[in-house]
Amino acid sequence: MKGYGGLRAESAGRPGTGRAARDDPAEPPGPVLEVTDLHVTFGAGAGAVRAVRGVSYAVRPGEVLGVVGESGSGKSVTSLAVMGLLPPHARVTGSVRLHGREILGADEKTLSAVRGGTISMVFQDPLSALTPVYRVGDQIAEAVRIHRRVSRRDAARRAVELLDLVGIPDAARRARAFPHEFSGGMRQRVMIAMAIANDPDVLLCDEPTTALDVTVQAQVLEVLRRARRETGAAIVLITHDLGVVAGFADRVMVMYAGRPVEAGTVDDVYLRPRMPYTAGLLAAVPRLDAAERPVPIEGAPPSPAALPPGCPFEPRCPLAVPACSAAEPALEPVGSPGHLAACIRAEEIEAAGGAPLAVRPPGALPAETGAEVAAGVLPASGVPPVAAGVPEEPGGRAAPPPRRDREVVLAVDGLVRHYPLTKGTLLRRRIGTVQAVDGVSFDVRERETLALVGESGCGKTTTLMEILRLARPQRGTVTVLGRDTAALGARDRMAIRRDLQVVFQDPMASLDPRMTVYDIVAEPLRTHGVRRPGPRVRELLRLVGLEPGHAARHPQDFSGGQRQRVGIARALALEPRLVVLDEPVSALDVSIRAGVLDLLADLKARLGLSYLFVAHDLAVVRHLADRVAVMYLGVIAEIGRVERVYAAPLHPYTRALLSAVPVPDPGAERSRRHILLEGDLPSPADPPSGCRFRTRCPLFRMLNGAEQARCVGERPPLRMLDDDHAASCHFAERSGAI
């Protein structure tokens, strides 16, 4: 495609929003950063990877441009190319103008003068992006001293100021700490402080919140907003999270296979998408605020080394026509001014007036195909498809009997898991006890999904590992299928392992890379004495939607979604009754995620499975779980039916958590009230007395002295407040006040 400088400033003005700091709304200033027809190629010849193919955009002071794309869409490479930070073997062409001055291909002297000065960057992973051996204060001071002639002492003072600005408490003392002594959110604040040290005009943020928890993400976005106010910088926000962009950006550019496919104001793109990929992506995001199930986009993005000749989205596009594969469509204006889309049918879509992909394509519903597969395949294995005793409804779709009549498959009561906390490698000493899980109780009944949600460090993974160990817990009891794990002999434990299976988060890490898919799926069968697992393996692969003919391949030869399907097939091999899902979709791209979620929901209904589902993403939970337990710092804050908890959360933490999840809808996101939690998660080695949430609780601050004393002194029990809805807060009834 030719360099279409469409996303230029003149076509992108959004007067009257008042969200960007502008001196004179009547005459918008020229762009600070202008990227035109940027191309990046790695390697040469037949194996060349064209990572970026013609990106153009411009941003003006104070403006926020969101760049959205899935992994491999070239969005991060673009920003590194702008900074001139790509490795030397990358070939970069096009133009990057900063204040009208060309910086692409400039010599190192020029580049290092603008980097960190006029234009600076916030990287994704703040742990690896900070030098581990220097104090954070010194690292920020270094950034100051590179661009300004100031004394060491002044630079150090400026560093403390900056740390204070980004909201690091006790900045003067914390400036002397090393990066590893900070939490992820604090580290990202340090990165931002470093990036704004010299009042940059442009701030490139590459997935600045991806590695963070939602409540921390909300804090960091707030810091970015403040940074923009302070410096008046233009921000380019690169992310895969449509929700973050909806609430933060003025304009948005959607990238696919190395080039922009749609661009425009946030409202235009989100509410009136004109490119089928954008529409599909929006429909594929699990949403917190809508009950509709997300709709997957079929297939996977093309490999950048082997792009189809025409529209790169053609293999996956439900609206594709033969003309689509003729030539790559250019990014052209469509509809309202400043709205651009790269689709030959954009005009038609515009005329039809809607996003065509928000509905499931007819005839592809999992209920139908699923039932066929189930009917055709499962009886062939010669075993009843569902656990004995439970009659299968036709198609597995009918509502199960009421909860209290169903068997309890997993009961956890007062579970405790503490770790010793040691310090020092050279002089190791025990300095405390990490109370990872401290008295957790819940149960899972037949054919139901319980989600365990919480942010990192809340103890959800530890809980899961304790259950899977099938051994005596430190305190409390774990009962799996009616058997107390503390009293299990080796043989019983082996028998229970048949019925209790697990699907892990990262499908790449959970499948042995040295084994073929056949051996991976056959391993549980062989371990439990099945001599010739062949037919069953084939049947399982078909069940999860994989081609049995691919059984001889290695996991590396599959895409992420397919790999997770292999993991699911392995978990189902022994016909378990309870499957533990450890963040099964969080490592997958948005467009693929929905497909795996659909498969899980479908399998559950057909095979009568029960799931214990551990996740941090509340939106995903909403669409898979029946009940949800919210964990905070080793205890359960709230538990109940999903609809109830999401509609009327009782615990202040649940409220804050739900409000922090960004929604991919600009209107809704702007008007929503966000409860911003302050501070970091306290150390689980030294949890607050009484209520563990009190140090960050917004309700706590509204209470009077006597009430506060109760929060400090008395640990709130998990109180049943409604039918199957309990929360551990003394004042849960008043949580609506926040």
Partner 1 sequence: MAGFLFRRLLNYLALIAVATSLAYALAATALNPRANYEGRNPPIPPAVVDARLAELNLDDRTPLPERYLRWASGVVRGDFGRTVTGGSVNQDLGRRIGVTLRLITAGLLLGSVTGVLVGAYAAVRQYGPFDRLATGVSFAVLAVPTVVLANILIIAAVWFNYLVGAHVFLVSGEATPGMPGGFAAQAADRLRHLVLPTLSLSLGLAAVYSRYQRNMMLDVLGADFVRTAMAKGLRRRTALVRHALRTALIPAVTYFAFTFGALLVGTTFTEKIFGWHGMGEQLVNSISANDVNTVAAISCFAALAVLAAALASDLMQAVLDPRVRMGADR
Partner 2 sequence: MSVTDEELAEQREAGNRLGAPSRLRVVAGRFFGSFQGRAGFALLALMFLLAFAGPFLGRWSYTDRDFTAFLAPPSADHWWGTLQTGADVYAVTLRGMRRSLVVGLLAAVVGTTLAAVVGAFAGYFAGWTDRALTWATDLLLVLPAFLILAVMSPLFASGQWPLFVLVLALFLWMVTSKIVRGVTISLREREFVHAARFMGVRPTTIIFRHILPNMSSLLVVDATLNVSAAILTETSLSYFGFGIQPPDVSLGSLIADGTRTALYAPWTFWFCAGLLVVTVLAVNMVGDSLRDAFDPASGRGRR
User: Interface with partner 1 includes 44 (CB under 8 A)?
Assistant: no
* Tokens representing residue 711 in the block: 């929060």
Rounded Cα–Cα distance for residues 598 and 605 (Å): 11
Q: Using the rule CB under 8 A, which residue among 85, 327, 359, 552 binds partner 1?
A: 85
- Running DSSP on this structure, what letter comes out for residue 105? T
* Tokens representing residue 599 in the block: 């498969």
Chain positions 448 to 487 lying near partner 2, rule: CB under 8 A, are 468
Chain positions 248 to 267 lying near partner 1, rule: CB under 8 A, are none
- The C-alpha angle with vertex 24 and arms to 22 and 26, in degrees rounded to 5, equals 120
- Which option in ligand SF4, partner 1, partner 2, none does residue 689 bind, with CB closer than 5 to 8 A by kind? none
- The C-alpha angle with vertex 596 and arms to 593 and 602, in degrees rounded to 5, equals 140
User: Interface with partner 2 includes 523 (CB under 8 A)?
Assistant: yes
- Running DSSP on this structure, what letter comes out for residue 279? H
Residues with Cβ within 8 Å of residue 716, at least 6 apart in sequence: 690, 691, 728, 729, 730
Whole-number minimum distance, CB 115 to partner 1, in Å? Answer: 5
- The C-alpha angle with vertex 369 and arms to 508 and 543, in degrees rounded to 5, equals 40
Q: Using the rule CB under 8 A, which residue among 89, 149, 153, 531 binds partner 2?
A: 89
Question: Can you tell me which residue has the tokens 């070939």?
Answer: 91
Size of the site for partner 2 (CB under 8 A): 60
Q: Using the rule CB under 6 A, which residue among 145, 565, 725, 730 binds ligand SF4?
A: 730
Strands (DSSP E) along 316-428, which ranges? 332-333, 340-341, 408-423
User: Interface with partner 2 includes 302 (CB under 8 A)?
Assistant: yes
- Which option in partner 2, ligand SF4, partner 1, none does residue 547 bind, with CB closer than 5 to 8 A by kind? partner 2
Chain positions 306 to 325 lying near ligand SF4, rule: CB under 6 A, are 311, 313-314, 317, 319-320, 324
Size of the site for ligand SF4 (CB under 6 A): 25
Q: Using the rule CB under 6 A, which residue among 693, 718, 725, 726 binds ligand SF4?
A: 693
Q: Using the rule CB under 8 A, which residue among 358, 364, 431, 737 binds partner 2?
A: 364
Written as one letter, the residue type at 362 is P
Query: Which lies closer to partner 1 via its Cβ, residue 69 or residue 184?
Result: 184
User: Interface with partner 1 includes 239 (CB under 8 A)?
Assistant: no
Query: Which lies closer to partner 1 via its Cβ, residue 59 or residue 346?
Result: 59
* Length of the chain measured in residues: 738
Contact (CB, 8 A) for 728 and 438: no
374 φ, ψ to 5°? -60, -45
- Which option in partner 2, partner 1, ligand SF4, none does residue 345 bind, with CB closer than 5 to 8 A by kind? ligand SF4
- Which option in ligand SF4, partner 2, partner 1, none does residue 523 bind, with CB closer than 5 to 8 A by kind? partner 2
- Running DSSP on this structure, what letter comes out for residue 115? B
User: Interface with partner 2 includes 493 (CB under 8 A)?
Assistant: yes
What count of Cα atoms within 13 Å lies in the side-chain half-sphere of residue 361? 9
Rounded Cα–Cα distance for residues 410 and 455 (Å): 23
Tell me which residue of 116, 274, 306 sits closest to 193, measured CA to CA.
116
User: Interface with partner 1 includes 116 (CB under 8 A)?
Assistant: yes
Chain positions 222 to 281 lying near ligand SF4, rule: CB under 6 A, are 275-276
Query: Which lies closer to ligand SF4 via its Cβ, residue 136 or residue 718?
Result: 718
Chain positions 24 to 43 lying near partner 2, rule: CB under 8 A, are 42
Q: Using the rule CB under 6 A, which residue among 243, 634, 684, 716 binds ligand SF4?
A: 716
Whole-number minimum distance, CB 371 to partner 2, in Å? Answer: 11
Query: What character string, x for contact with partner 2 (CB under 8 A) and - otherwise, covers 564-593?
Result: ---x--x-----------------------
- The C-alpha angle with vertex 101 and arms to 95 and 105, in degrees rounded to 5, equals 50
Q: Using the rule CB under 8 A, which residue among 37, 125, 230, 407 binds partner 1?
A: 125
Chain positions 380 to 419 lying near partner 2, rule: CB under 8 A, are none
Q: Using the rule CB under 6 A, which residue among 266, 621, 697, 718 binds ligand SF4?
A: 697
Q: List 412's β-bridge partners, or say none.
A: 442, 478
Tell me which residue of 275, 202, 290 sits closest to 243, measured CA to CA.
290
User: Taking phi first (over 0 means left), then psi (-120 to 50 degrees means alpha), and beta for anything else, what does residue 396 get?
Assistant: left
Residues with Cβ within 8 Å of residue 158, at least 6 apart in sequence: 140, 141, 144, 150, 197
| Cα distances (angstroms) measured from residue 299 to each of 215, 242, 594 | 32, 20, 12
Sole window of 193-201, 209-217, 541-549, 671-679 interacting with partner 2 (rule: CB under 8 A): 541-549
User: Interface with ligand SF4 includes 652 (CB under 6 A)?
Assistant: yes
* Tokens representing residue 24 in the block: 């004179």
Rounded Cα–Cα distance for residues 371 and 171 (Å): 60
* Strand 429-445 with 408-423, pairing: antiparallel
Chain positions 132 to 191 lying near ligand SF4, rule: CB under 6 A, are none
Rounded Cα–Cα distance for residues 543 and 380 (Å): 12
- Which option in partner 2, partner 1, ligand SF4, none does residue 36 bind, with CB closer than 5 to 8 A by kind? none
Q: State the residues that interact with ligand SF4 by CB under 6 A.
A: 275-276, 311, 313-314, 317, 319-320, 324, 329, 343-345, 652, 691, 693-694, 697, 699-700, 711, 716, 729-731
Q: State the residues that interact with partner 2 by CB under 8 A.
A: 42, 87, 89, 296, 298-300, 302-303, 306, 315-316, 361, 363-366, 369-370, 373, 468, 493-494, 497-498, 500-502, 504-506, 509-514, 523-524, 527-528, 545-547, 550, 553-554, 556-559, 561-562, 567, 570, 594-595, 598-599, 602
